[in-house]
Amino acid sequence: NAGVTQTPKFRILKIGQSMTLQCTQDMNHNYMYWYRQDPGMGLKLIYYSVGAGITDKGEVPNGYNVSRSTTEDFPLRLELAAPSQTSVYFCASTALAHEQYFGPGTRLTVT
Amino acid sequence: QKEVEQNSGPLSVPEGAIASLNCTYSDRGSQSFFWYRQYSGKSPELIMSIYSNGDKEDGRFTAQLNKASQYVSLLIRDSQPSDSATYLCAVNSNSGYALNFGKGTSLLVTP
């Protein structure tokens, strides 16, 4: 199993551009999550999904959108990128809604 | 917003000593507690989970939970330089689907 994979690893965006961060898991987990981590800070939940077709907002959803059309994939969309979205983004998944397993992360810079 | 508090450190211990990491949480309804280890530039890695009061041991790691005091700790015995990392405490949220993370404690094990 590859576990949780994320692409790209690094990306630089200009202000106002859009992009999609990809997340795929091959463990048949129902629950998937997107977090962002700023330097010296903990993980902040952006969006989560409890199954295909079901998503909900987390603590910091503004400026982001998600979809969950399959069990495996949970892409995160950034519209109109802003410098405040410069961060490291982690995707995670779990079968049990608690013991979450993380992907390697995407380091995003918006300039 | 439910809070998870950790001392940011750095906590410095000599090689071979016991490292003690602490975490407090504000939501009395929390049922699940986790410790993640995060090396610099890497994603969080689950190292311990604990669900009931008392101690849980796994190799050199011991998690301790006291729900009455809303306190969870992680002990690392025979600390090694490879244990140098940031340790994140996570507690299940009131939604049941997500985790609230502390900001992490930086541990430095010196040879």
Q: How far apart are CA B83 and CA B77, in angstroms?
A: 10
Q: Which of B4, B88, B92 sits opposite A98 (nearest CB)?
A: B92
Predicted confidence (pLDDT) at residue B21 exceeds the cutoff of 70: yes
Strands (E), chain A: 4-7, 10-13, 19-25, 31-37, 43-51, 54-57, 64-66, 76-78, 87-94, 101-102, 106-110
pLDDT at B1: 60
Q: Which of B49, B98, B104 sits opposite A58 (nearest CB)?
A: B98
Confidence of residue A8 (pLDDT cuts 50, 70, 90): very high
Q: Count H helices, E strands: chain B? A: 0, 11
Mean pLDDT to the nearest integer, B84-103: 88
Find how far residue A33's CA is from the centre of its chain: 6
Q: Is B6 in contact with A52 (CB distance < 8 Å)? A: no
Alpha carbon of B6: minimum distance to chain A alpha carbons (Å): 10
Q: Is B20 in contact with B26 (CB distance < 8 Å)? A: no
Q: Which of A42, A97, A99 sits opposite B88 (nearest CB)?
A: A42
Mean pLDDT to the nearest integer, B5-29: 94
* CB < 8 Å to A35, chain B: 101
Residue % of chain A over a pLDDT of 70? 99
Alpha carbon of B39: minimum distance to chain A alpha carbons (Å): 11
Alpha carbon of B18: minimum distance to chain A alpha carbons (Å): 24
Q: Which residues, including other chains, have CB under 8 Å from residue B64's CB and lie 6 or more apart?
A: B50, B54, B55, B56, B72, B73, B74, B75
Q: How far apart are CA A105 and CA B43, in angstroms?
A: 6
* Location of structure tokens 């906590």: B11
Q: How far apart are CA B37 and CA B15, in angstroms?
A: 18
* CB < 8 Å to A101, chain B: 46
pLDDT at B69: 94
B32/A43 touch (CB, cutoff 8 Å), yes or no: no
